[in-house]
Structure 1
């Protein structure tokens, strides 16, 4: 007996369709299981970190305690005074005249400069310290004196100084003066703008 060619083909298609649906079902189950595993891993990871004390940042009460900076010498206070000198037609000054800091404590102060000219200006600031021995203990992390400053015509700019005083500074130093001289860098001046 011979069977029509179409019936074999229909049976293969039906069998193939059934296998495809079974495969789709298995893949969906696997995808749901993978999502559940990833979702469940977060509390498991937190619990493991809490038990072992590794990378555990948030205590049970929900507050986050910042680690104490052990480099700061809270037993000493040093007054830092700020001074500004300028060589040229602009205004240059610190926004505060002095601050009191503990050795090792990070501090930020801001200097303001205003170009009163109708032309662009390239300038540089040079620091000096009093007493001179303080220079080696005055550590600047960020300072406008590290790079040349360019100011457009009549432009005002605020420039930060981030520093700390090395805790190894001699105990008899109680006052440091940081002075900047701000001067125009020699070069061909631009023509005034109208």
Structure 2
């Protein structure tokens, strides 16, 4: 007779655990955003802007580190053509990244940007970036992918180095039909 109450207690505990797991999964994205804001990781860029002609602040130089990485399942080669550049705030720069599809299959990639320190992200402005759209590459194909950007002269003076990380993901399965059609 004592097993029926134990089954009910066990069922309630399992239901509670399942609800807690669902709640945690639902709250994970906002929690991650808060974590990134607190730690300064994963600064996000808001996207493209119209090119603004700033007054270049020649009294300051900001070092920009350019890092290319790829998801563990991404079989391409991917690298920044320059690992580091110096620029004056307000000065526009074009930089290149190189990608090579080393597989025997046509693939589509998506680059996800991140800026550190996170508070510098709002001062980075891009007019052109390979990260704005999916990048198709045929089997064995390589190409240079460019980005045009500046860092606003409003960047706080205590920020002297900005790291821009681009992580490449395989998005072939989720690619727009128009992007896939470019491969044929």
TM-score interval (norm. to shorter): 0.5 to 0.7
The question of 1:74 aligning with 2:33 is answered no
The question of 1:95 aligning with 2:108 is answered no
CA distance in 2, matches of 1:111, 1:126: 13
Q: CA deviation at 1:147?
A: 0.6
Count of residues in correspondence between the two structures: 122
- Considering only aligned residues, what root-mean-square deviation do their CA atoms show, in Å? 1.8
Residue 130 of structure 1: aligned partner: 116
Under a length normalisation based on structure 2, what TM-score does the superposition of the two structures give? 0.63
Residue 140 of structure 2: aligned partner: 154
CA distance in 1, matches of 2:153, 2:174: 45
Q: CA deviation at 1:186?
A: 5.0
Aligned to 1:167, the other structure's residue is in SS state: coil
TM alignment of 1:138-149, pairs within 5 A: 138-149=124-135
Decide which structure has the larger Cα Rg and report it. Answer: 1
- Relative to structure 1, the CA distance from residue 139 to residue 153 in structure 2 (aligned partners, 3 Å threshold; closer, same or farther) is same
CA distance in 1, matches of 2:160, 2:174: 44
Deviations 1:149-194 (A, max 9, x none): 000001001001100001101010000000000010151899xxxx
TM alignment of 1:1-150, pairs within 5 A: 71-87=55-71, 88-150=74-136
Residue 36 of structure 1: aligned partner: none
Tell me which of the two structures has the higher relative contact order, counting C-alpha pairs closer than 8 angstroms and 6 or more residues apart: 2
CA distance in 2, matches of 1:139, 1:70: 11
2:163 to 156, 170, 177: 177
Aligned to 1:187, the other structure's residue is in SS state: helix
Under a length normalisation based on structure 1, what TM-score does the superposition of the two structures give? 0.60
CA distance in 1, matches of 2:54, 2:121: 23
Residue 19 of structure 1: aligned partner: none
- Relative to structure 1, the CA distance from residue 154 to residue 161 in structure 2 (aligned partners, 3 Å threshold; closer, same or farther) is same
